[in-house]
A and B are shown apart, each in its own frame.
Chain A
């Protein structure tokens, strides 16, 4: 399925990125992403992950590829979740510069909320990046409220 430009902009913005993954033995794990880009024509996503900070998440991405990525804006809790089956790709210089831009924007957004950079540096880690590359299988709303959990779209 394809993302609306509005949602594509949202997930490529200064949002916090949380990855849920799953091992072969069905054990879930959780980790953070440090940048996202939506590839043309809008049905594929790349999420950057630090293999240094989140080794189990990267191992799960390699082993099963099953992933649910939640994007949440700290200012208002607007949130979406995208699911898919990822493959791992090597990180290119463009990915590194994307990561740097993302960390700068996300840090600014967190500082706006009163979070000190000493703390944001603990979460937004650009070390040993890998790229989770996946086609969008489903998109759902995760913003708290009546629509939370509503499926926006699903690939048939």
Chain B
């Protein structure tokens, strides 16, 4: 016979076209499905008794992965409820493509109401799961979060800012949807909607900017050439009509701000706001965690420069001591503590040939004059790394594990130091 009736299979929705059936103990199921992949599945609605019959075709059996794990623990829990702990161990999940769904006639038909589906909640749960997946980094988390804002929240323009309490400045770590990413650009606490959220620690939402000042001082100041002003343009859309800024706070401490803009009026609903708060809290916790876990790399790996390659082109690096700004091949990169960091890394490389660095050694380097209490080194390096990547600079910093990174060079850096802005 090419069919098998099992009274206690669990059925889960895999996607719009597929269901998964728990395969606990029937070795014959595999043989039957190999002979005839067609199946009929009777589903019962536990709320009203409605029954429906699925016609489905066997696709494959999966033995691992997130769906398998979820079903396995679910089966374990329901088995222990009925006193069958250990008996109903999940062997595999049989995936079927559903070809038709037929409602079984009933004496008193109950209207079939589709189950309440909350796609945004599901997508948000998936996003937070990816944020904290094993091997995930803060860089990865920021990218995941922006991707979720685009696909699940429908944000055209979104920004992640990191907060520095010492200087009371927000720095752009990543953005999406803007002509220029603005990574590395800064907004003072209290300035504009994003700075406002940082200063107050409260979510700020503007639903119709047409009646207010469209964009703040920070934007206008930063629209000029960054090579002249040493100021990176903040990613802001002068035509946006709605803005939302959600502070990223953990243990009462601001870690950054999540921002979004739209050219639609009333673009951000309370649902958007709630979803962004969930996302912002997760990212805040990850930033705090990455700072807390930054110490003690596993090994003192030393990446040495390969044999000298004099043929490589020269990368001209200028370091201005008065503001620690760095220009690479004539392009303004960054200033302040991040500029000092990059200058130090390049000088150590030029002196020793070393390419591998640990966050720990930077933290202990007195000449960097890092703040003693809460140096935010992880965040500073993240911002520097992302700014270099954004500028497609011939000098890149590549993380190679927790608390370690590699200097990646497309040429031979030559660092020239100057004292004043005109040198």
Q: Which residues of A contact B (CB under 8 A)?
A: 16, 18-22, 26-31, 52-54, 56, 66, 68-70, 72, 77, 79, 81, 83, 118-123, 125, 127, 142, 144-145, 148-149
Q: Is the interface of B mostly helix, strand, loop or mixed?
A: loop
Q: Given the interface contacts A20-B1, A30-B41, A123-B49, does A144 sit within 8 Å of B84 by beta carbon?
A: yes
16 A-B pairs in the complex with CB atoms less than 8 angstroms apart: A16-B7, A18-B7, A19-B5, A21-B3, A26-B38, A28-B40, A30-B3, A30-B41, A30-B53, A52-B105, A77-B7, A119-B49, A121-B107, A122-B49, A123-B44, A149-B25
**A118 CB to nearest chain B CB (Å):** 7
Tell me how far the C-beta of B1 lies from the nearest C-beta in chain A, rounded to whole angstroms: 6
Q: Does B108 lie within 8 Å of A77, measured CB to CB?
A: no
Contacts of B48 on A, CB cut-off 8 Å? Answer: 118-119, 122
Alpha-carbon separation in the docked complex, A21 to B84 (Å): 29
Contact A148 B25 (CB under 8 A): yes
Partner of A144, one of B1, B25, B40: B25
Residue of A68, A69, A72, A144 with most partner-chain B CB within 10 A? A144
CB distance from A56 to the nearest CB of B (A): 8
Alpha-carbon distance between A19 and B107 when the two chains are bound, in angstroms = 20
The answer for the CA separation of A16 and B40 in the assembled complex, in Å, is 18
Chain B residue at minimum C-beta to C-beta distance from A84: B1
Flag if B53 contacts A145 (CB, 8 Å). Answer: no
Instruction: Report the minimal beta-carbon distance from A101 to chain B, rounded to whole angstroms.
Output: 19
Q: Are A29 and B87 in contact, with the CB atoms below 8 A?
A: no
Q: In the A-B complex, list the 5 residue pairs whose CB atoms are closest, starting with the nearest.
A: A119-B49, A122-B49, A28-B3, A72-B7, A70-B5
Chain A proximity of B26: nearest CB distance (Å)? 5
> Contact: B50 with A122, CB < 8 Å?
yes
Would you call B8 an interface residue if the criterion is a C-beta within 8 Å of the partner chain's C-beta atoms? yes
B11 within 8 A of A: no
B32, closest chain A residue (CB)? A28
Q: A27-B55, A144-B87, A145-B87 are known contacts. Are A81 and B5 too (CB-CB below 8 A)?
A: yes
Q: Which residues does chain A contribute within 8 Å of B77, judged by CB atoms?
A: none
The proximity string for B residues 337-381 relative to A, scoring 1 for CB distances below 8 Å and 0 otherwise, is 000000000000000000000000000000000000000000000
Shortest distance from the beta carbon of B309 to any chain A beta carbon, whole Å: 67
Using A145-B25, A149-B28 as known contacts, say yes or no to A28 and B7 having CB atoms under 8 A apart: no
A131 and B107 alpha carbons, distance in the complex (Å): 20
Q: With A144-B8, A144-B25 in contact, do A28 and B49 touch (Cβ < 8 Å)?
A: no
At the interface, yes or no: B6 with Cβ under 8 Å from chain A?
yes
Q: Which residue in B6, B27, B107 is a CB contact (below 8 Å) of A142? A: B6
Interface bits B175-191 vs A (CB < 8 Å: 1, else 0): 00000000000000000
